[in-house]
Amino acid sequence: MLLSEEYYAPAVHTGYYSCLQKVKYILMEYYPEDFEKLGTLKSDGTGNSHMDYIRTLAKWLRRSDEDDAFEFDRKMKQLKNYRISSDYSQNAVVESDAVKTLGIAEKVHTIIKTHMPL
Amino acid sequence: MKMTIPQFIDFSFHKINTKFPNASIRYQQNDDTHYIEVVPKDIYESGAFANLGWELDDIFESLCTGGILCFLTEGDLIKLNKPSKIYTPSPIQANWMAQSSSTLNAVAEVETTYKSLHTLLTPLKFAGNYQYAMAA
């Protein structure tokens, strides 16, 4: 819907956060000890909480499939950085990049769904 | 003693180049992210590269830089506009790799043809034996 309305930057934003929220949900639901530790890190004001969530889930994914875990890791890192650039920089987000972002987000969801109990 | 980031990048280039001599590699730092771009895409998407990528990522994490190591390839969302380190395989090397690859393909083709013929001939042989058995 955002794409058809030509809201490309918000499409990038929601694409990334849909993945991050899924990552956080999985950790909270299935790996609560890890999730608690990440919460502690965050309140200390140290580290990068988004990256901590991504790394922690990647660590669990690696136990079932190294290749998919690597794909998840590199795609999430790209989404994260592209979302920051899209939200805060002056660079315009064009339609093809917004479409690409949503394709990557979809792939991330598929990897999580394949390896994580939902 | 821990590696510095430039040492780690040199090390990564060396490791990637040793394992994938036909790959082009570029590096660029944007804020806290260290991007390493590997082309062509089929190398980047291979299981062998995933193994190496994790190996490098684990080393990078052990350096505790607080930064991010991110691998890219052609056509990705993030594009490198000012790479500070570039490795391109020499045309001779690339050509040699392409020739080796076509030779390997040719060998694979011959093997496949041989296997097909073997599959085709094996039942005939058994059929022949069966006929002999019947005649006896």
pLDDT of residue B132: 42
Q: Sort out which chain B residues have CB atoms less than 8 A from A77's CB and list them.
A: 33, 68, 70
Cβ contacts of B49 within 8 Å, gap of 6 or more: B19, B20, B38, B43
Cβ contacts of A102 within 8 Å, gap of 6 or more: A3, A11, A15
Query: Is residue A89 within 8 angstroms of chain B, CB to CB?
Result: no
Using CB atoms, pick whichever of B51, B68, B78 lies closest to residue A82: B78
Using CB atoms, pick whichever of B50, B61, B70 lies closest to residue A77: B70
- Give the Cα separation of B52 and B90 in Å (integer): 23
Burial per residue of B63-89, b for 16 or more beta-carbon CB atoms within 10 angstroms, e otherwise: eebebbbbbbbeebbbebeeeeeeeeb
Q: Which of A46, A48, A67 to mutate to test the interface with B (most CBs of B within 10 A)?
A: A67
Q: What is the 3-state secondary structure (H, E, C) of chain B?
A: CCCCHHHHHHHHHHHHHHHCCCCEEEEEEECCEEEEEEECHHHHCCHHHHHHHHHHHHHHHHCCCCCEEEEECCCCCCCCCCCCEEECCCHHHHHHHHHHHHHHHHHHHHHHHHHHHHHHHHHHHHHHHHHHHHHC
Q: How far apart are the first and last CA of chain B?
A: 81
| pLDDT block averages, 10 residues each, chain A of length 118 | 84 96 95 86 66 95 95 96 92 91 96 89
Using CB atoms, pick whichever of B50, B61, B68 lies closest to residue A77: B68
pTM of the predicted model as reported, rounded to 2 decimal places: 0.78
Task: Kindly report, residue by residue over B81-105, the tens digit of the pLDDT.
Answer: 999 999 999 876 666 655 655 555 5
Mean pLDDT value across residues B119-125: 51
Smallest CA–CA distance, residue A27 to chain B, in Å, is: 21
pLDDT of residue B26: 98
Mean pLDDT value across residues B122-129: 48
Task: Kindly report, residue by residue over A15-40, the tens digit of the pLDDT.
Answer: 999 999 999 999 999 999 999 888 76
In terms of C-beta density within 10 A (0-12 exposed, 13-18 middle, 19 or more buried), how is residue B30 classed?
Answer: middle
